[in-house]
Amino acid sequence: MTLETDDIQGLLIRGYGRLDGACYVPMQFTEARRTQQWLHALLPLITPASQSPEDQAVHLALTAEGFRQLGIPAEAVATFSRQFKEGMTEAHRQFVLGDVAQNAPTHWQWGGPGREPHAVLMLFARDQAALEALLAEQKTQWEAAGIVALSRLDTHKLPNFREHFGFNDSISQPIIRGLSKAEETPAWNTLAPGEFILGYPNQYDLFPDTPHVALAADPDGVLPDVPPETPPRPPAKDLGRNGSYLVFRQMSQDVPAFWQYLKAHSQEPGATPEAAAIGLGAKMVGRWPSGAPLTKTPDQDDPALAQDNDFLYWNDDFHGLKCPGGAHIRRSNPRDWLLTERSAQDSQEMVQKHRLLRRGRTYGPPLAPSMDPLDLMQAAPDGQERGIHFICFVSDIVRQFEFVQNAWIRFHKFGGAYDDSDPLVGTHYQEEGVVTDSFTVPARPFRRRYKQLPQFTHMQGGAYFFLPGLRALRYLATFPLR
């Protein structure tokens, strides 16, 4: 099937790397009619995937409560996924995601009790000055509609594609089949569009469930019909086509704590304590600061491999002697390696059904402007918040995001470990006999064990959103309120 790029919001297709300025505005609606008028005026600015903008891009996503606030019939809201309707802060889900103790929603800056958003407006511009102008214009519009901004979430682009711990980021991204102009290789990293965009076949060669409205609820025929390939249901209008579920999690990063721990505890080979610290950091990440993967260069960084993503684990590093099984990139994307009794091919096929399409950005100033690990190690804490706005798209929240977060990132027994959560973004604690704050480096003759890892990242906000297609947005702006 050909992707309907004129109806898909562009953020699903590209991350706008040339648009340096960006900010996100989680907001609450107060009056449906005025919100509809605001949305109607916003529609011409929404950027479709068929365009590659040079100056600006605008996108909008809504929560389940946002759809309700707009007056969408309850029976239509009920057709969205259960996870989306319950929201990220539902009590059981807090445990599943690791949003407990200091990461609990009661401590969040937004998204927690009383500060749940109805939508998020996402703005991108060529530079900071252009972003400020776009934001000021939009603020005037949303305030006139009685919309309340819960926060202004700015971004800060770091040099050399680094994240705040000092490592090259966003290297491993799945390719959506049918979009790449180049030969779509490697095959293990090329996924069916239905994994991320509703209305197309997924890795199971099935159409994902789509939210829909009754025929009578779309008298003007703005929405397409629900296609016959989707699960059997009475004739209805497709509210989800060309849309996607958007997971947004704001996480702060404690950069001084990260490098202080590495320097104080590293037992990795290195001519100096600083080199040993960088070696341990690379083991935790699975890549060197340049981005070079440990599977290809286990003993030293190699900037020539900074963007290399064409590697697997089963044959080259099954036991994790190069890249530990608990390293962040190995947990978030095990590729062809899982401790099963089956084959590498089976592992690849299973992992493909749990991939995420990331579109996040960092925020806050760097602890050291150079982003060099040696400078980060020497820099004193400055009291400023910095971190990442983690944003990903999925067609199935529970099969993709929640599975990865719970079974691979958070779970302390992943890959045959005993008490190791993800060293970077896992939940680290010792409670009621359960230990999750260790990190294991396989080695011969003896493995190395690092214990009592601090919590290097902390949740500051989050929510589940839905990014509608452009026809769905037009429907939201024009359908008759009850």
Determine the average pLDDT of the residues in 63-86.
96
The domain of 99 spans 10-248+462-478
What's the pLDDT score for residue 185?
Answer: 66
Q: Across-strand partners of 119?
A: 27, 62
Whether 170 is in a domain gets the answer: yes
What per-residue string of b and e applies to 285-295 under the rule 16 or more CB within 10 Å gives b? bbbbbbbbbbb
Number of structural domains found in the chain: 1
Q: d(Cα 160, Cα 145) in Å, to the nearest integer?
A: 40
Report which of 268, 293, 253 is spatially closest to residue 439, judged by C-alpha positions: 268
Residue 461 DSSP SS3: strand
In this structure, which amino acid lies at residue 73? Answer: P
What's the pLDDT score for residue 421?
Answer: 95
Give the residue with greater pLDDT, 345 vs 97.
Answer: 97
What per-residue string of b and e applies to 251-274 under the rule 16 or more CB within 10 Å gives b? bbbbbeebbebbbebbebeeeeeb
Report the chain's mean pLDDT, rounded to a whole number: 94
Burial classification of residue 202, based on how many CB atoms lie within 10 Å of its CB (0-12 exposed, 13-18 middle, 19 or more buried):
buried
For residue 286, name the pLDDT band (cuts at 50, 70, 90). very high
pTM of the model: 0.96
Q: d(Cα 454, Cα 316) in Å, to the nearest integer?
A: 31
- The C-alpha angle 182, 187, 189, rounded to 5 degrees, equals 90
What's the pLDDT score for residue 389?
Answer: 98
Whether 126 is in a domain gets the answer: yes
Report which of 19, 20, 26 is spatially closest to residue 51, judged by C-alpha positions: 19
What's the pLDDT score for residue 149?
Answer: 98
Asked if residue 137 has pLDDT above 60, the reply is: yes
Whether 164 is in a domain gets the answer: yes
Whether 83 is in a domain gets the answer: yes
pLDDT in tens, 220-268: 999 999 988 777 678 999 999 999 999 999 999 999 999 999 999 999 9
What's the pLDDT score for residue 277?
Answer: 98
Whether 382 is in a domain gets the answer: no
Q: d(Cα 121, Cα 369) in Å, to the nearest integer?
A: 29
Whether 139 is in a domain gets the answer: yes
Q: d(Cα 218, Cα 439) in Å, to the nearest integer?
A: 54
Give the residue with greater pLDDT, 80 vs 482.
Answer: 80
Across 284-327, the runs of DSSP E, i.e. the strands, are none
pLDDT in tens, 100-130: 989 999 999 999 999 999 999 999 999 999 9
Task: Return the structure tokens found at 132.
Answer: 């400020």
Determine the average pLDDT of the residues in 335-350.
80
Whether 161 is in a domain gets the answer: yes
DSSP class of 227: P
What's the pLDDT score for residue 339?
Answer: 65
Whether 423 is in a domain gets the answer: no
Report which of 281, 326, 331 is spatially closest to residue 417, judged by C-alpha positions: 326
Q: d(Cα 6, Cα 14) in Å, to the nearest integer?
A: 14
Task: Return the structure tokens found at 87.
Answer: 């929201």
For residue 482, name the pLDDT band (cuts at 50, 70, 90). low
Concatenate the DSSP letters of all residues of 234-294 into one string: SSEEESSTT-EEEEEEEEEE-HHHHHHHHHHH--S--SSHHHHHHHHHHHHHSB-TT--BT
For the chain, give the longest Cα–Cα distance. Answer: 73
Helix (H) or strand (E) segment spanning residue 393: strand 387-394
Q: d(Cα 308, Cα 171) in Å, to the nearest integer?
A: 8
pLDDT in tens, 175-205: 999 886 555 567 888 999 999 999 999 999 9
What's the pLDDT score for residue 481?
Answer: 66
Determine the average pLDDT of the residues in 350-358.
93
